């Protein structure tokens, strides 16, 4: 297992991966040290640093935060998650850039229409934000809903993708 750190227009990102794929992505932090510390607090501090392993990921992440890429594609290893969490993340990964969907929409996609709150909890624990764009999930009435990185970060990501501040009802 490896981890790596990389600068972007928004700050330093950190990533951790198994031999199967990405297991964690830390959204940009002001300093390299902050990104590394967050990776450590999530259990990835004892890994071997190998930024070269993540070159294709980091180039895409850097382009995303510069506003020149619409998706980040990298193999994922979500084996530590429950089946339910993996189903939620798979549905959310399909939400197009610049669009949002409701928690209810996600619940219906995974054929569990009453599981809106559980969907929110699964997204709160999304280990690979941006790769799985959980920031694109909002309340049915257009309210932001939660985001593990804070409401300000969620607004900023949505603005980067061109989704305006005036939220309206969403699918």
Residues 33 and 88 in one domain: no
* pTM of the shown model: 0.91
For 77, the token pair is 């290893």
On whether residue 47 sits in a domain, the answer given is yes
Sequence-distant (6+) residues with CB within 8 A of 162 are 98
Four-point Cα dihedral 141, 155, 153, 94, nearest 10: 70
On whether residue 147 sits in a domain, the answer given is yes
Residues 87 and 142 in one domain: yes
On whether residue 78 sits in a domain, the answer given is no
**109 flagged as catalytic:** no
Contact 38, 26 (CB under 8 A): yes
Residue 100: domain span: 83-160
Residues 89 and 154 in one domain: yes
Residues 148 and 95 in one domain: yes
Element (H, E) at 24: strand 22-29
Sequence-distant (6+) residues with CB within 8 A of 16 are 1, 2, 3, 22, 23, 24, 39, 42, 44, 47
Output the domain CATH number for residue 116: 1.10.10.10
Contact 18, 124 (CB under 8 A): no
Catalytic residue among 24, 109, 116, 134: 134
Four-point Cα dihedral 117, 44, 27, 120, nearest 10: 0
Residues 89 and 148 in one domain: yes
**Domain total of the chain:** 2
**pLDDT, tens digit (0-9, with 9 covering 90-100), for 99-136:** 999 999 999 999 999 999 999 999 999 999 999 999 99
Residues 98 and 128 in one domain: yes
pLDDT of residue 141: 86
What is the spatial distance between Cα 47 and Cα 27, in angstroms, rounded to a whole number? 18
Output the domain CATH number for residue 27: 3.30.160.70
On whether residue 39 sits in a domain, the answer given is yes
pLDDT of residue 156: 94
What number of other Cβ atoms are within 10 A of residue 14's Cβ?
27
Q: Give me the residues of the chain with pLDDT under 50, please.
A: none
What are the angstrom distances between the C-alpha of 85 and each of 97, 120, 128, 151, 158?
21, 10, 12, 22, 23
Residues 145 and 89 in one domain: yes
């Amino acid at each position: 297992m490896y981890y790596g750190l990389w600068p972007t227009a928004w700050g330093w990102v950190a990533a951790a991966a198994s031999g199967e794929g990405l297991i964690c992505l830390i959204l940009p932090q002001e300093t390299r040290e902050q990104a590394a510390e967050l990776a450590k607090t999530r259990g990835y501090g004892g890994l071997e640093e190998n930024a070269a392993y993540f070159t294709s990921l980091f180039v895409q992440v850097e382009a995303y935060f510069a506003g020149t890429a619409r998706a980040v594609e990298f193999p994922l290893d979500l084996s530590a998650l429950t089946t339910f969490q993996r189903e939620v993340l798979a549905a959310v990964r399909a939400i197009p850039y610049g669009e949002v969907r409701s928690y209810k929409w996600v619940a219906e996609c995974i054929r569990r229409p009453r599981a809106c709150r559980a969907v929110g909890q699964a997204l709160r624990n999304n280990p690979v934000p941006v790769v799985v764009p959980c920031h694109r999930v909002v309340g049915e009435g257009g309210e932001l809903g939660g985001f593990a990185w804070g409401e300000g970060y969620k607004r900023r990501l949505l603005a980067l993708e061109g989704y305006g501040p005036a939220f309206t009802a969403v699918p």
